Amino acid sequence: MSAPHGLLFLSAMPRTLDPELRRALAARIRYYNEMGIYDFYRQPLSVVTEEVSAPAAGDEVEIAVSIHQPEHQPESGEEMSPRKATLVAVPRAIEENIFEVIALKPEQSVNDPVKALQIIREDLGDCTRCVLHTQGRKQIVFGVGDANAELMFVGEGPGADEDAQGEPFVGRAGQLLNNMIKAMGIERRQVYIANIVKCRPPGNRTPERDECATCSPFLMRQIAVVKPKVIVALGAVAAKTLLAMNASMMQLRGRFYEFKPAGVRSNDPEWDGCKLAVTYHPAFLLRDPRQKGEAWKDLQMVMKELGMKAPKSNT
């Protein structure tokens, strides 16, 4: 019997999952991720059409796969429309361990973080996964810095200068970020810098929610490779995307969050996530320099966490 349209039916799978099958399913899930499909959740088998014969009890559950669609992003807590779901039948053994399956990434077998980041960059390729590839980007801005950095900065997306040079934070906001890093007593080359989206939004507009959702899994993989001790989210878009929460900058700043990159695990069992702090985006500080003192308080909190001391001129 052929599977109905939109349904991957895996009833022929053995009950005991063999490694080959596990790899095949991981590849399938990666394929869905690359199509912009990230959310998997269970639905009762009764939802399936009558064309599908029910598997033996305990063998399979269904996973409804949500598809990110720019024209309608469900608000938090909103039910996913059934018309936007593809049903996938997955053996229960996998369903119980679904996040582990999702976490299998090609770079995880590589110990050298520089090579691992290269693998992620190659995986990204000449990316066309979201509409930003059609909106005038010159190049993808992947990330820069020390692949072993203890401190990572994450911004929103590339601007015109970054798009032209292929490196994050190289324009005026980048110069201010460099000064902020210097004020902490370290140099730019000692940290890792990346953005939520890797292509320039036209006119420097804020990236849309679906663009962030499509691009950020690659950032999560970069984070899992770099394994920082602290991430500083620069601005509301970076903070809200990384923390998957909606709050004002006033609510987000001034504390640490426990952070683990979503959907991926580090290959280092010693690294179980990191701390995340939120501060203002340097572009905002250029527009409202009065907030620089507040940003410095955020960075001092980070420095204390990392056991860093500011140079004497800043104390």
Give the separation between CA 180 and CA 292, rounded to whole angstroms: 9
Q: Which residue's CB is nearer to ligand SF4, number 48 or number 127?
A: 127
Q: How far apart are CA 308 and CA 272, in angstroms?
A: 22
Please select the residue that binds ligand SF4; options are 85, 116, 197, 223, rule is CB under 6 A. Answer: 197
Residue of 214, 222, 266, 279 that binds ligand SF4 (CB under 6 A)? 214
DSSP per-residue letters across 108-162: GG---HHHHHHHHHHHH-S--SSGGGGTT-SS----EE-TT-SEEEEES---HHH
Q: Residue 215, interface with ligand SF4 (CB under 6 A)?
A: yes
- Which DSSP category does 14 fall into? -
For residue 199, the surrounding DSSP H or E stretch is none
The minimum distance between CB 128 and ligand SF4, in angstroms, equals 6
| Closer to ligand SF4 by Cβ: residue 129 or 275 | 129
Binding flag, residue 213, ligand SF4 (CB under 6 A): no
Q: Name which of residues 133 to 152 contact ligand SF4 (CB under 6 A).
A: 133, 140
Structure-block tokens of residue 81: 């429309």
- One residue of 132, 154, 285, 303 binding ligand SF4 per CB under 6 A: 132
Binding flag, residue 154, ligand SF4 (CB under 6 A): no
Alpha carbon of 66 to those of 2, 70, 92, 98, 101: distances in Å?
Answer: 23, 13, 19, 15, 17
The residue within the footprint of ligand SF4, chosen from 68, 105, 188, 198 (CB under 6 A), is: 198
CB nearer to ligand SF4: give 105 or 198.
Answer: 198
Closer CB to ligand SF4, 22 or 133, in the complex: 133
List, in order, residues 6 or more apart from 243 with CB less than 8 Å away: 233, 252, 257, 259, 276, 278
User: What is the C-alpha to C-alpha distance for residues 24 and 282, in angstroms, rounded to an integer?
Assistant: 44
Question: Given the rule CB under 6 A, which of 57-65, 88-96, 122-130, 174-182 is the region that contacts ligand SF4?
Answer: 122-130
What does the block give as tokens for 237?
């878009």
CA distance 51 to 137: 46
Pattern 72-111, ligand SF4, x by CB under 6 A: ----------------------------------------
Alpha carbons 89 and 12: distance in angstroms, whole number = 11
Nearest-CA neighbor of 192 among 164, 229, 165? 229
68 near ligand SF4, judged by CB under 6 A: no
Specify the amino acid at residue 38. Answer: Y
Least distance from ligand SF4 to the Cβ atom of residue 130, Å = 3
Both tokens of residue 236? 């509301």
Task: Report, in Å, the least distance between residue 28 CB and ligand SF4.
Answer: 20
* Total residues interacting with ligand SF4, rule: CB under 6 A: 14
Minimum Å gap between C-beta 181 and ligand SF4 is 25
3-state secondary structure of 11: coil
Beta carbon of residue 65, minimum distance to ligand SF4 (angstroms, whole number): 18
Binding window for ligand SF4 (CB under 6 A); candidates: 123-131, 161-169, 225-233, 300-308: 123-131
Which CB atom, from 130 or from 177, has the smaller least distance to ligand SF4?
130
DSSP for residue 201: P
Stretch that binds ligand SF4, among 65-73, 83-91, 172-180, 193-201 (CB under 6 A): 193-201
Residues that bind ligand SF4 (CB under 6 A): 124, 127-130, 132-133, 140, 197-199, 211, 214-215
